[in-house]
Amino acid sequence: MFFYISKLLWFFTAPSNLLVMLVILGGVLLRTRFARLARWLALGGGIVLFAIGILPVSSLLLPLENRFPPPAADMPPPDGIIVLGGGIDSVVSTARDHAAMTDAGERQLEGAALALRYPNAKLVFTGGPNPFWAGGKSEAHYAVAQWASLGIAPERVIAESASLNTYENAILTHGLVEPKPGERWLLVTSAFHMPRAIGIFRKAGFPVEAYPVDYRTEGSLSHLRPMREVSDGLRRFDLAMREWVGLAGYYFTGKTDALFPGP
């Protein structure tokens, strides 16, 4: 239920969606007695929409991405590698019967690279089907197939194929692999998503080490550089706001024990 409520609320509160709805509302009200308000809604919504898309407000992603530094190149071999879903579009993959990666596909590629670098480490993929696409196969199904094409034997992969969100990723993966005290497990996910993911895994009793990938910002330059495309700026801003809202939501519902988990 938490999954469906969160998706529904985010659709109506995502900044770009909300601003577009304000502009549309302004247009609808123009020929009513609220015409003055309508003009303000349409004009204000349009200006803010453009400003968010062009100005470097997407740098809100920066503190999320910088929260957990990548591990040292000469780190000791891990006992296990966990790759979070999100790097595969299960709807397109099901329709085409071929693993189709999303813009977070670096999770997949880096997971495969780590698996080849550390052949003795356990390899876990956690990601279920799209619940809004009846009959669709899980992300895990296509992750295993894609990794097999890269030289990773399917029998080496521990696939968790029922989870619908990061909370379920953590709970179900913990129960599946039953990590032992002293083991080192790497968690591979997008850098902006790492604080929330680490907090959830910690709360689930699964201590993991951050292995951030899929960076979207350019470091300190993100505070200064305007966006070249409005669509890209809006996408980054929505992404940042979803994570900040998600951090608060997961904290206040008891799914993490810190508002902004850190190293």
Task: Verify that 57 and 159 share a domain, yes or no.
Answer: no
- In this structure, the answer to whether residues 22 and 59 fall within a common structural domain is yes
Q: Are 3 and 165 in contact (CB under 8 A)?
A: yes
* HEC profile of the chain: CHHHHHHHHHHHHCHHHHHHHHHHHHHHHCCCCCHHHHHHHHHHHHHHHHHHHHCHHHHHHHHHHHCCCCCCCCCCCCCEEEEECCCECHHHHHHHCCCCECCCCHHHHHHHHHHHHCCCCEEEEECCCCCCCCCCCCHHHHHHHHHHHCCCCHHHEEEECCCCCHHHHHHHHHHHHCCCCCCCEEEEEEHHHHHHHHHHHHHCCCCCEEEEECCCCCHHHHHCCCCCCHHHHHHHHHHHHHHHHHHHHHHHCCCCCCCCCCC
- Is the residue at 28 inside a domain? yes
Burial 207-221 (b: 16+ CB within 10 A, else e): ebebbbbbbbbeeee
Domain membership of residue 240 (yes or no) is yes
Q: Judge if 74 and 199 occupy the same domain.
A: yes
What's the pLDDT score for residue 25?
78
Residues 12 and 87 in one domain: no
| Same domain assignment for residues 46 and 76 | no
- Whichever domain contains 133, its CATH number is 3.40.50.620
81 and 207 both lie in a single domain: yes
Tell me the pLDDT tens digit for each residue of 110-157: 999 999 999 999 999 999 887 766 567 889 999 999 999 999 999 999
Indicate the number of domains in the chain.
2
Instruction: Give the confidence band of 94 by pLDDT, cuts at 50, 70, 90.
Output: confident
pLDDT at 242 over 60: yes
- Both 34 and 110 in a single domain? no
Q: Write down the pLDDT at residue 7.
A: 63
Residue bearing the bigger pLDDT, 232 or 204: 204
Residues 92 and 187 in one domain: yes
119 lies in some domain: yes
CB contact at 8 A, 208 and 187: yes
pTM of the model: 0.87
Domain extent, residue 109, equals 69-213
Same domain, 88 and 150: yes
Rounded percentage of the chain residues whose pLDDT exceeds 90: 57
pLDDT tens digit sequence for 39-86:
888 888 788 878 787 777 767 889 999 999 999 888 999 999 999 999
172 shares its domain with 154 = yes
**Cα 87–93–97 angle (5° rounding)?**
145
260 found inside a domain: no
- The answer on pLDDT for 3 being more than 60 is no
Instruction: From residue 45, give the alpha-carbon distance in Å to each of 35, 64, 111, 193.
Output: 15, 27, 41, 28
Decide if pLDDT at 220 tops 80.
no
Residue 201 is assigned to a structural domain of this protein: yes
The pLDDT value recorded for residue 118 is 95
- Domain membership of residue 35 (yes or no) is yes
Same domain, 96 and 158: yes
Residue 197 lies in a domain: yes
- pLDDT category of residue 221 using cuts at 50, 70 and 90: low
Together in a domain, 208 and 166 = yes
The pLDDT of residue 231 is: 79
Give me the residue label for tokens 């988990």.
261
Residue 141: burial class (beta carbons within 10 Å; 0-12, 13-18, 19+): buried
In this prediction, residue 5 has a pLDDT band, given cuts at 50, 70 and 90, of low
Residues 82 and 84: their CA atoms lie apart, in Å, by 6
pLDDT for residue 17 is more than 60: yes
Residue 23 binned pLDDT confidence (cut-offs 50, 70, 90): confident
What is the rounded CA–CA span in Å between residue 136 and residue 146? 17
Question: Does residue 157 fall inside a structural domain?
Answer: yes
Average pLDDT, the chain: 88
Q: Are 136 and 90 in contact (CB under 8 A)?
A: yes
User: Higher confidence at residue 188 or residue 237?
Assistant: 188
